[in-house]
Amino acid sequence: MSAEAKNSIEFPKDLLKEVGRLTAQYPEGKQKSALLRILHIAQAHFGWLDVPVMDYVARLLHLQPIEVYEVATFYSMYDTKKPGKVKLEVCHTGPCAIEGTEKIITYIENKLNIKVGETTEDGIFTLKGVECLGACGYAPMLQAGHKYHEHLTEAKVDELIERYRKNPVANYMEY
Amino acid sequence: MRKLLLDKIHVEGIETYDVYRREGGYRSVEKALKMTPEEIVEEVKTSGLRGRGGAGFPTGLKWSFLAKPDGVPRHLLCNADESEPGTFKDRYLMEKNPHLLIEGMIASSFALGANASYIYIRGEYMFVLKIVEKAIAEAYANGWLGKNIQGSGYNLDLTITCGAGAYICGEETAMIESLEGNRGNPRIKPPFPAVEGLWQRPSVVNNVETIASVVPIINDGGAEYAKIGIGRSTGTKLISASGNINNPGVYEIDMNMTVEEFIYGDDFLGGIKNGKKLKACVPGGSSVPILPHYLVTKTAKGEDRLMSYESLADGGFESGSMLGSGGFIVYDEDQCIVRNTYNFTRFYHHESCGQCSPCREGTGWMEKVLHNIEIGKGSMEDIGLLWDIQKNIEGNTICPLGDAAAWPVAAAIRHFREEFEWHVQNPQLCLEKNYGLVAEKTFEVEPA
């Protein structure tokens, strides 16, 4: 990566202010506690946690890069490989499974012509199977960005994919 | 049935400070600040409140273990990392009525002498984090958090932070590691968090529902709270119900009610969907033993089973289960227990942190064996092998995730062995249809 590209990895002022607010919530010397939330912000802003992004977060928090890498690779919500712009994360654990999540997954696979774990050629959608998201009473369901979509039907999936295709917003949380 | 936690849940605007306060919110803090911390701990002990996260440990007792060395800050940590499959009650409570949790956090923090408390919520609940964070800001603006709360001289800072997708962070020491910004690897105990928790400081970790329950306990008194329920199952309990039922959702129940009424009552689950028969039930989240149809509403002794800690556990693991986190999953006659066990095992394999070999390797091994049986490629020896693997995981790991992975497999084989054998003997047929109900077995029980 060129020096120029490396320098371009930087939060805008409003996000730096948010980072300041989050780190100030912990006692002096315990700023590492803000790491998980800051990684969420970094992922939302930069799209995914590429190595230079993690290095930048390490510098912000005065950590060794390895301290950020080991956290980023432990938690399933962080992407250390580039995903599509919109991640469709379908819950496939027990209660969702008995309410028909397999059918929904197959339907999305056929509709987008990808398998679970893959990204569409246009780079818009990534399909993932994820473990229990705490929406068992409203199954089947999927998470897209920060939003839960519950009581899924094929018609709902059609509508959802159409909507995200028109407006493929950042793949993660809104800040 | 009396409601203590969800009584105001449908009041319009209850998530805002003004409405919450108008409805009597923050009274428990006013009352608590006039009591001594020891008096509050006594009220919680009197109430009989037990941890609502799954283990059911008496809350007052847990609080009394907190070490109080001079000059060392201590912390109250709220476990909102709700991830046990089948459980979605804490999300409902925080999403609809966030101030109830904040009120409980303030009163409880005061009782424990904590001046900085933290709520740790799972990363997937980011939309809930935003709701709680907004409510925390309102509480600060109205003098319920910060310096000199309501002129009492008591200071408390409350912060909400999040995980990023890891079931293991619901285990209290893994949650503390994650709160420190590390990988969620559970710690070896002792030392327990009550002595060395967050940043090596004495800490109490309580579930969302547990902390919310402190509000009615202070308002009405521990003795009044203890009048609800039965035996050592005092107060009300939130149950998240899912699966093949007519009315899935979150219910606040008196634990003195029967399982029969809970499943079939019109005010509760409304019976099995599409008029099907009940095949099985997991009453307390995916980790607890699954019960076959004939042990759900009745115990092995033939008594009515209640929705209480004791009654759901009646018969031990031979013929009982656990109330656990209250994640109540119902299966109809068309469900496949082999597939369900495979599904849960895949979950535990995915969620194992990888520290202990029995769990890291064992869960993956069980997943593979179960998958083979599920797709008609298993052998009879595989069933015995599964039993051996789960036995070798149970009790041999740093944290209870190992047990949580072993128990569902053990219970499925114990009660549904004939269904596993049928899968092995009918490799083609098992892909086309499901087994249906298993035959009723009798248990040797002590006379009631």
Fold of A3-72: Arc Repressor Mutant, subunit A (1.10.10)
Cβ of B167 within 8 Å of Cβ of A131? The answer is yes
Q: Are B343 and B86 in contact (CB under 8 A)?
A: no
Cβ of B243 within 8 Å of Cβ of A98? The answer is yes
Cβ of B127 within 8 Å of Cβ of A148? The answer is yes
Residues of A in contact with B182 (CB under 8 A): 32, 71
* Confidence bin at A64 (pLDDT 50/70/90): very high
Q: What is the pLDDT of residue B22?
A: 98
Proportion of chain A in helix, strand, coil states, percent, rounded to 5: 50, 10, 40
Q: What is the DSSP string of B399-431?
A: STHHHHHHHHHHHHHHHHHHHHHHHHH-TTHHH
pLDDT at A59 over 90: yes
pLDDT tens-digit map of B186-204: 999 999 999 999 999 999 9
Cβ of B327 within 8 Å of Cβ of A136? The answer is yes
**Side-chain-side CA neighbours of residue B58 (13 Å):** 15
pLDDT tens-digit map of B133-176: 999 999 999 999 999 999 999 999 999 999 999 999 999 999 99
Among A161-175, B284-298, B408-422, the least confident range: A161-175
- H helices of B8-85, in order, are 17-22, 27-32, 37-47, 59-64
| ipTM passes above 0.90 | yes
| CA pair distance B218, B225, nearest whole angstrom | 9
Fold of A86-166: Glutaredoxin (3.40.30)
Cβ of A132 within 8 Å of Cβ of B347? The answer is yes
Q: What is the pLDDT of residue A5?
A: 54
B216 is written with which tokens? 């009615």
pLDDT tens-digit map of A102-161: 999 999 999 999 999 999 999 999 999 999 999 999 999 999 988 999 999 999 999 999
| Nearest by CB: A132 against B83, B127, B335 | B83
Among A115-119, A162-166, B272-276, the least confident range: A162-166
Cβ of A40 within 8 Å of Cβ of B126? The answer is yes
Q: Are A50 and A5 in contact (CB under 8 A)?
A: no
By C-alpha distance, which of B92, B71, B73, B67 is closest to B82? B92
Cβ of B123 within 8 Å of Cβ of A40? The answer is yes
Q: What is the pLDDT of residue B389?
A: 98
Q: What is the pLDDT of residue A175?
A: 44
Q: What is the pLDDT of residue B386?
A: 98
Mark out chain A residues that contact chain B at CB-CB < 8 A: 25-27, 30, 32-37, 39-40, 67, 70-71, 74-78, 92-95, 97-99, 130-139, 143, 146-148, 173
pLDDT at B180 over 90: yes
pLDDT tens-digit map of B9-47: 999 999 999 999 999 999 999 999 999 999 999 999 999
Distances (CA, A) of B306 to A65, B186, B250: 53, 34, 18
Does B181 contact A at CB distance below 8 Å?
yes
What integer is the mean pLDDT of B264-275? 98
Residues of B in contact with A67 (CB under 8 A): 181
pLDDT at B86 over 80: yes
Residues of B in contact with A136 (CB under 8 A): 85-88, 240, 242-243, 248, 327, 329
pLDDT tens-digit map of A15-41: 999 999 999 999 999 999 999 999 999
Higher pLDDT, B348 or A168: B348
Question: DSSP class of residue B26?
Answer: T
pLDDT tens-digit map of B212-266: 999 999 999 999 999 999 999 999 999 999 999 999 999 999 999 999 999 999 9
Chain B 155-174, residues with CB within 8 Å of chain A CB atoms:
157, 159, 161-167
Distance from CA of B205 to the nearest CA of A (A): 17
Q: What angle do CA B12, B16, B20 make, to 5 degrees?
A: 75
pLDDT tens-digit map of B95-106: 999 999 999 999
pLDDT tens-digit map of B387-404: 999 999 999 999 999 999
Does B221 contact A at CB distance below 8 Å?
no
pLDDT at A6 over 60: no
Distance from CA of A131 to the nearest CA of B (A): 6
pLDDT tens-digit map of A69-89: 999 999 999 999 999 999 999
Substitution target from B82, B88, B122 for chain A, most A beta carbons within 10 A: B88
What are the boundaries of each domain within chain A? 3-72, 86-166
| Domains located in chain B, CATH noted | 17-227 (3.40.50.11540), 238-332 (3.10.20.600), 337-432 (1.20.1440.230)
Q: Are B23 and B155 in contact (CB under 8 A)?
A: no
CATH topology agreement for domains A3-72 and A86-166:
no
Handedness of CA B265, B268, B269, B270 (dihedral sign): positive
Q: Which helix (DSSP H) or strand (DSSP E) does residue A90 occupy? A: strand A86-91
Cβ of A133 within 8 Å of Cβ of B244? The answer is no
Distances (CA, A) of A173 to A85, B24, B128, B130, B185: 12, 34, 12, 11, 25
pLDDT tens-digit map of B394-442: 999 999 999 999 999 999 999 999 999 999 999 999 999 999 999 998 8
* Confidence bin at A172 (pLDDT 50/70/90): low
Q: What is the pLDDT of residue A169?
A: 75
